[in-house]
Structure 1
Amino acid sequence: MKLKVVMLSLSVFAYTGFTAQNIQNNPGSNHGNKFEQLGTILPTPNIYRTASGAPGHGYWQNRADYNITAYLDEDKKNLKGSETITYYNNSPDELDYIWLQLDENEHSNIRNAGYGASSVLPSSTTDQQLKATELPVKDNGYGVNLEKVTDASGNPLKYIVNKTMMRIDLPKVLKKGEKLVFTIDWNYNISNRIKMGGRGGYENFPEDGNDLFTMTQWYPRMCVYSDFQGWQNHQFTGRGEFALVFGDFKVSMNVPADHIVGGTGECKNYDQVLTSDQLSRYRKAESANEPIEIVTLDEAKKAEKNHSKQRKTWVFEANNVRDFAWTSSRKFVWDGMQVTIPENNNKVMAMSFYPKESYGLYRKFSTKAVAHTIKTYSEFTIPYPYPVAQSVEASNGMEYPMICFNFGRTEKDGTYSEGTKNGMIGVIIHEVGHNFFPMIINSDERQWAWMDEGLNTFTEYLTEEKWDNKFPSKRGPAWTIVDYMKLPKDQLEPIMSNSENIVQYGPNAYSKPATGLNILRETIMGRELFDKAFKTYAKRWAFKHPEPADLFRTMEDASGEDLDWFWRGWFYGTDPVDIAIDKVTVATPDLETAKAASEKKYQVESPLVNSFEDISKIRNREDKNITFYVDKDKDLQDFYYRYDRGQEKIDTHKEYITKTEASTPLDAKDKEKFKNLTAYQIDFTNKGGLIMPIILEFTFEDGSKSYDKSSAQIWRLNEQKVSKTYYFDKKLVSIQLDPMKETADIDTSNNFWSSTGSNSGTSKFQLFKQKQEAGSVRGGASGKVNPMQASGKKS
């Protein structure tokens, strides 16, 4: 969903599944935390979900097929429906009850989820907004009215409604491999979406007296029963979106005869509901490479003036989808064209529905943006598999299989701002893109908003970039997340948080995960490796129910990159990136001074045998069946054999003098070679806490530049401070850290060093001619004289 209002404050939502806790085994250390593996956090692999991130050989998911009839009463703003659901239990479990979602109850003031928000006195208000508080609360008339719930034979089924969830108790256990057929009849009053908010409802146009209906979450829908959670029956609060089951749909919508209907899937009776001219245009659009108006602007304007009392029934079918949504209005202009997806040669009808208020924008851009989106997403994920992709202008932003609702209206004179144009294109790309995340790669939006919105926003960014190189993307580039990452910790929560508990919903669910994936692609993994791994994830989990661990594990499994440090920091933590250049020490070689011979005093190494006898050694000596090899072979009894047994007497307290040879000075040729060499030691501090690669731009006196990048692993032995030393044969003027702003560093004021700045030190280092012969290590590994040297013996 493309959110325009993202600041909400909600009460705490308890969740006992996947934890967002950033566990650390060594929190008091300067290393060993940020690179700790996620094994203690991720769920244990099993036959359903493997350690590689792929579905296991025991993976299963249940299924629900729907046959629905609906009657839209435009005058009364009421929808009446009847549905027959065939539910297949593919799980290994026996089910004695099932759960369904009654999302329309969220519009009810007495049957909603009850996730209240705090309220304060307004500084100002209007007479329309001000009314006396009613206690007890009176029913506002919205929400689902259940008329009948029966089995296939017409027998009543027992059920209970818990706010936005409905439990049906089964007369007998539904075993593995069995199916359940049942029917629900219901109705509800359709809310004014503009006044009451929400994803579905109607919008009234006072100037011409017409309505535009967006029918979403409009029928009782099966909850997901899964291997990782059981029933996903968390209440619908209006924010956390949906967890849904795949199945086939057949839907019949009875609407006013002058309405045009668009819906999930393909219409099966255009020949009955369209005029002959409209049907002819539709047939032409099926093979057109430019959008053709199927319902023209003139026809839409004419329909607005005459409210038909007749009715028509539109029939749609959709296979292997997780949901069904539709729209209905006499205001619609409708255009379409064919799009071919190269990867699977799928012929797709790209279409748009829009009122005259949007004509100046939607006629030019909408359908082509639909076509561009499904083709580009197909490149980065899987080939688009469905026969239809549709964009509907409805002054909002929300997604469903094969259909989505977007904004984008012109001024009354037909003009529009650049912001409106780009916002419209962006929301169309975003909502059409949701066909892939989560409509096909079917994550649990109710729990993990980022797996839906974040992954889709990232792919939206890739698609916007391929739409126009100058497109002003607001989410995806690293620099766009900086203001959010700067916020105080009490205003932040990890990406791995339940949807209902996020304060800054837009940045947390959309921007930060999208930015993180872009940093992975551009800065950490590289495009080729990332794209292969991301496509692997999409392919593995298409038409299945992935969880976060499935993404994390797949990206590592398919790339050969250990990314646990990145998931831990970016998804489980709230630390920002702030890497600082603390100091640059500039050193030049001393080419004239050779090192003279010197003497040092060392003590002798003590014997390496234990100062006590351990139990194993004692028992081995006492065992008459054991003969020690060095006792049998006298050739093995060297100096240290005797020394360890006290047979060689060395004064370990005496100081022995060792001499080091003088170094060889550089000759004239070498001095010329190194005369311009300068060394630069750059000291970095990790001030923010979130590790990232160190990316440097060097600018030299002659105006030339060079670049270097150290991977994030440079921090593995010290997560707080590291140093890098470079040797250049020309003078540095400046060093710029993260020159392209690709790591989301929140403070760029400490990312720069200048040779004229104050954070510099100077020194010299001695440079000698390296001897070619291999010399012995004086003083031994311990830094002391070895006993053999002290004794003067060699055996």
Structure 2
Amino acid sequence: MERSRIVKWVGGVAVVALLAVQATLWAQGALVAAVPQPYTDTGIPFAPANAAAVTTPSAPDAWGGPRTGTEETLSDRVANYRIEATLDPVRHTIDARQQLTWRNRSARDIKSVYVHLYLNAHKNENSTFYTEERNGGEAFRSGLDVGDAKFGYTQLRHVRQDGKAVPWQFVQPDGGPATDETVVRFDLPDSVAPGASTTLDIAFFDQLPRLTVRMGYFDTFHFLAQWFPKIAVLELPGERGAKEVRWNAHEYHAESEYYADFGHYDVKLTVPKGYTVGATGQLQGQPVEKNGLVTHHYMQGDVHDFAWTADSRTAPPLRATWKGPQPGAQPVEVTVLFPPEYRSNAAPVLQATLDSLAYFGRTLGPYPYRTVTAVIPPFNGREAGGMEYPTFFTANSVEDPAPDTLGRIDLDLVTIHEFGHGYFYGILASNEFEEPMLDEGLNEFWNLRMLRERKQRLHFTTSLWRRLGFAPSFDPFHFERIGSGLDDPADPLGESAYGRLEGIGPVYTRSALMLHDLEAQLGRDVMEKAMREYYRRWQFRHPSIADLRETLADVSGQRALVESTFARQVYAVQPVDDRIADFTSSEVLPQPGYRTVGGKQVNVTQEQAEEQAEAERERWEKAHPDAAEGRGPFPYRTAVLLRRKGAAVPQTLVVTFADGSRESVQWQGSERWKRFEWVKPVQAVSAQLDPERRHLLDANKLDDGRTLKADDSASQRWTFDFGTIVQTLLALLATI
């Protein structure tokens, strides 16, 4: 999911606001009831409502063990879907029939199953989603208010098992309001034996909302995500911390996303003639037209979701074929769907997608599917932008996609980010309800690495400002520190998506910074090797944070470092804040008091000591008329005092002296302060903590460096830049 970045220009000064969905959620009272007991005949509990970062690694055979590539299918297909759906773009409805075939992986007879009806989050203001949003005081993304048009729902028309009616009942596994209808329990006429499968015939009807939260319609544009009944995940002992068989079936929370089993999707989509359709997977043959309607048939195996779009205004799609450098690599058909008003965005989105296929394939592992479809939403359809689904994602749209502008960076970053979800959300398939760090956090980290490799910096300018000579820019990781709340973080990175005081935003930013800092200590090559192994072990499975931790520790060989980092930042929350509290470098002068002179004790007064020092200084300067500043007749004592207010991290301090020499020392301890001293014949000029910028989690990087003399070059530079802008504007105004 995209975090919107908006730049507002006020009086020629760029004010950068990093907008993340911020909500206090359950911490301010959205948790309103105790977790209800599951259906008594099942005896199978739910995953806890407050489940978050898993601490115990999954069993070696979890989810069937690592995929070797010799299996018949890429994933262990548990939930398979056949769907036939017809869109009415005037009433904004969908009529559909679905066959859901589900396999019982457990050793228990299953008498009831739980199914997500995510669209019911928008049925009314009493859903868990809107209750949390209302109590938290924050609206989703832009907070677009479309009034009553924001409501929509899924209606179950019938559910049958082998022709027998299946009764259902809405439940609230997380203790949300009793009016929430995003999770439904099906009580099966025939139980499902261990290892057996059952097929449920479901007829359902969707009333789509006006596009406000990830899905819905605007004018002729229809974006369908989380639109069909989707079965919850039955987890087994040893999987993601489970100690017994349990249903992982969370309500649709305002800050959370999704988690589902892999399977095969066979979907037929019928729309009016003249509508362009894009969807998860591969189109099977040519669309079939009948009575003014056209049916598009898509299939895709080894995915855990299906999304699609239909619009009568879509311009002719932009297409390309990507083929990896590995011998025998399968080609990937890349398609960009876009409205006419954003034609200028299509080519950059296509190029960023092609580049992402290359980067992610090289640094993590091969892309296993044959298609990627990117959708650029129309004007006023921004709420559909920046979302990810298997082989299918929505990009952003900008007015000015010229190279090296803020618009282009925004367009590229969102494209890379949503494609990257195809790996972390799609192929690795972590639980986004409980452990969003594994998706949003890891993905953001890998996105910024890719931007850095592309040598893309964040330019806070439009093409006009660049032509006028004003082009400040930032390293992507340094920009990530903006708005990250590093000085007083409230939530561990491993907290669930919906149990956070600060909302989901810091999951992106602080996770990326934490992993940046860990990589700085492990080394770039080691981190890439570890992440490739994480992908190899856990592709088409469902890893936990503990599984990521173990992979990093195993591959790096630095278990203590990895575990301490996770203990401080993932399972707990400790700010990092080291600083240079004091920096001095002064002459070691003769001091008053008794001295032995000619065998006698002579009491030298303060005045005499100063006179001796001054005389010695005059003699030395005559003998060394060309001596550089910072040298003299007396040695210099240099002292640097370091203070620590947060977690202990290994630090490097570098002190530079007037003759160009340097002293470098390590601070490895957990003390709250440390003083380093040198006595040298030359004066120090500067002291720098963390010179390689390894610790971007540090709350304040401005106090990491000190100079002996005031250095106003930075303020002068910004003053001159601002003055240039003002003069240019005045000159421009004078000509019009």
Query: Do the two structures share a fold, i.e. TM-score over 0.5?
Result: yes
User: Which residue is equivalent to 2:375?
Assistant: 392
User: Which residue is equivalent to 2:114?
Assistant: 99
User: Which residue is equivalent to 1:378?
Assistant: 361
Select 2:56's aligned residue among 20, 36, 43.
43
Select 1:419's aligned residue among 386, 389, 406.
406
User: Which residue is equivalent to 1:180?
Assistant: 198
User: Which residue is equivalent to 1:77?
Assistant: 92
Kindly provide the CA deviation profile for residues 316-345 of structure 1, in whole angstroms up to 9, marking residues without a partner as x. Answer: 010101111111112122011111123461
Q: Tell me, yes or no, if the aligned pair for 1:483 and 1:746 is still in contact at 8 Å.
A: no
1:339 aligns with 2:322: yes
Select 2:524's aligned residue among 524, 527, 531.
527
1:326 aligns with 2:299: no
Cα deviation for residue 724 of structure 1 reads 4.7
Q: Secondary structure at the match of 1:317?
A: strand
Superposed counterparts of 1:310-325, under 5 Å: 310-325=292-307
Cα deviation for residue 108 of structure 1 reads 0.3
State the structure with more CA Rg: 1
Select 1:547's aligned residue among 517, 528, 544.
544
User: Which residue is equivalent to 2:485?
Assistant: 485
Q: Distance in 2 between matches of 1:476 and 1:680?
A: 35
User: Which residue is equivalent to 2:102?
Assistant: 87
Q: Distance in 1 between matches of 2:588 and 2:403?
A: 65
Name the CA shift for 1:440/1:101 in 2 (closer, same or farther; >3 Å): same
Q: Tell me, yes or no, if the aligned pair for 1:370 and 1:432 is still in contact at 8 Å.
A: yes
Q: Distance in 2 between matches of 1:478 and 1:264?
A: 35
Cα deviation for residue 487 of structure 1 reads 5.0
Q: Secondary structure at the match of 2:119?
A: helix
Cα deviation for residue 549 of structure 1 reads 0.6
Q: Distance in 2 between matches of 1:740 and 1:468?
A: 18
Q: Tell me, yes or no, if the aligned pair for 1:61 and 1:226 is still in contact at 8 Å.
A: no
Q: Which amino acid aligns with 1:202?
A: Y
Name the CA shift for 1:49/1:108 in 2 (closer, same or farther; >3 Å): same
User: Which residue is equivalent to 2:690?
Assistant: 738
Cα deviation for residue 310 of structure 1 reads 1.2
Kindly provide the CA deviation profile for residues 146-184 of structure 1, in whole angstroms up to 9, marking residues without a partner as x. Answer: 111011x32211221231011111223322211111111
The answer for unaligned runs of 5 or more in structure 2 is: 5-19, 36-46, 69-74, 139-143, 172-180, 460-472, 590-632, 711-736
Q: Distance in 1 between matches of 2:456 and 2:661?
A: 26
Q: Tell me, yes or no, if the aligned pair for 2:287 and 2:294 is still in contact at 8 Å.
A: no
Q: Distance in 1 between matches of 2:707 and 2:453?
A: 37
Identity %: 22
User: Which residue is equivalent to 2:580?
Assistant: 581
Name the CA shift for 1:678/1:526 in 2 (closer, same or farther; >3 Å): farther
Name the CA shift for 1:483/1:155 in 2 (closer, same or farther; >3 Å): closer
User: Which residue is equivalent to 1:266?
Assistant: 282
User: Which residue is equivalent to 1:698?
Assistant: 655
Name the CA shift for 1:693/1:129 in 2 (closer, same or farther; >3 Å): closer
Q: Which amino acid aligns with 1:685?
A: R
Q: Distance in 2 between matches of 1:526 and 1:534?
A: 12
Q: Distance in 2 between matches of 1:719 and 1:695?
A: 15
Name the CA shift for 1:166/1:727 in 2 (closer, same or farther; >3 Å): farther
User: Which residue is equivalent to 2:15?
Assistant: none
User: Which residue is equivalent to 1:149?
Assistant: 159
User: Which residue is equivalent to 1:508?
Assistant: 506
Q: Distance in 1 between matches of 2:255 and 2:322?
A: 33
User: Which residue is equivalent to 1:410?
Assistant: 399
Q: Secondary structure at the match of 2:439?
A: helix
Q: Distance in 2 between matches of 1:380 and 1:120?
A: 39
Name the CA shift for 1:17/1:723 in 2 (closer, same or farther; >3 Å): farther
Cα deviation for residue 691 of structure 1 reads 2.2
Q: Secondary structure at the match of 1:437?
A: helix
Cα deviation for residue 681 of structure 1 reads 5.5
Q: Distance in 2 between matches of 1:586 and 1:465?
A: 38
Q: Which amino acid aligns with 2:128?
A: A
Task: Give the TM-score taking structure 2 as reference length.
Answer: 0.72
Q: Which amino acid aligns with 2:480?
A: T
Cα deviation for residue 389 of structure 1 reads 1.0
RMSD: 3.7
Q: Which amino acid aligns with 1:556?
A: A
Cα deviation for residue 698 of structure 1 reads 2.9
Q: Distance in 1 between matches of 2:362 and 2:678?
A: 41
Q: Tell me, yes or no, if the aligned pair for 2:287 and 2:295 is still in contact at 8 Å.
A: no
Cα deviation for residue 581 of structure 1 reads 2.5
1:236 aligns with 2:252: yes
Q: Distance in 2 between matches of 1:54 and 1:511?
A: 30
Cα deviation for residue 589 of structure 1 reads 11
Cα deviation for residue 686 of structure 1 reads 1.2
Cα deviation for residue 465 of structure 1 reads 2.2
Q: Secondary structure at the match of 2:206?
A: strand
Q: Which amino acid aligns with 2:257?
A: E
User: Which residue is equivalent to 2:78?
Assistant: 63
Q: Distance in 2 between matches of 1:157 and 1:474?
A: 58
Kindly provide the CA deviation profile for residues 276-329 of structure 1, in whole angstroms up to 9, marking residues without a partner as x. Answer: xxxxxxxxxxxxxxxxxxxxxxxxxxxxxxxx9811100001010111111111
Kindly provide the CA deviation profile for residues 42-67 of structure 1, in whole angstroms up to 9, marking residues without a partner as x. Answer: 237645569xx9899xxx97711111
1:348 aligns with 2:347: no
User: Which residue is equivalent to 2:725?
Assistant: none
Task: Give the TM-score taking structure 1 as reference length.
Answer: 0.67
Q: Distance in 2 between matches of 1:683 and 1:54?
A: 50
Name the CA shift for 1:139/1:3 in 2 (closer, same or farther; >3 Å): closer
Superposed counterparts of 1:580-659, under 5 Å: 580-583=579-582
1:433 aligns with 2:390: no
Cα deviation for residue 248 of structure 1 reads 0.7
User: Which residue is equivalent to 2:433?
Assistant: 446
Q: Which amino acid aligns with 2:234?
A: Y
Q: Secondary structure at the match of 2:99?
A: strand
Name the CA shift for 1:95/1:705 in 2 (closer, same or farther; >3 Å): farther
Name the CA shift for 1:130/1:682 in 2 (closer, same or farther; >3 Å): closer
Q: Distance in 2 between matches of 1:224 and 1:391?
A: 28
User: Which residue is equivalent to 1:285?
Assistant: none
Q: Distance in 2 between matches of 1:271 and 1:482?
A: 48
Q: Distance in 1 between matches of 2:523 and 2:496?
A: 30
Q: Which amino acid aligns with 2:255?
A: R
Name the CA shift for 1:708/1:95 in 2 (closer, same or farther; >3 Å): farther
Cα deviation for residue 403 of structure 1 reads 0.6
1:360 aligns with 2:344: yes
Cα deviation for residue 452 of structure 1 reads 1.1
Kindly provide the CA deviation profile for residues 676-729 of structure 1, in whole angstroms up to 9, marking residues without a partner as x. Answer: 987756442212x12222133332213x36474737xx12xx342334566867
Q: Secondary structure at the match of 1:504?
A: coil
Cα deviation for residue 353 of structure 1 reads 0.2
User: Which residue is equivalent to 1:252?
Assistant: 268
Q: Secondary structure at the match of 2:438?
A: helix
Cα deviation for residue 468 of structure 1 reads 3.9
Q: Distance in 2 between matches of 1:754 and 1:45?
A: 51
Q: Which amino acid aligns with 1:534?
A: M
Cα deviation for residue 382 of structure 1 reads 1.4
Q: Distance in 2 between matches of 1:695 and 1:245?
A: 46
- Which stretch of the first structure deviates more once superposed, 97-106 or 157-166? 157-166
The answer for unaligned runs of 5 or more in structure 1 is: 22-40, 123-127, 132-137, 205-210, 274-307, 591-674, 758-795
Cα deviation for residue 3 of structure 1 reads 2.9
Q: Which amino acid aligns with 1:752?
A: G
Q: Tell me, yes or no, if the aligned pair for 2:111 and 2:190 is still in contact at 8 Å.
A: yes
Q: Secondary structure at the match of 1:245?
A: coil
Q: Secondary structure at the match of 2:484?
A: helix
Cα deviation for residue 568 of structure 1 reads 1.7
Q: Which amino acid aligns with 1:569?
A: R
Q: Distance in 2 between matches of 1:68 and 1:742?
A: 50
Q: Distance in 1 between matches of 2:163 and 2:498?
A: 39
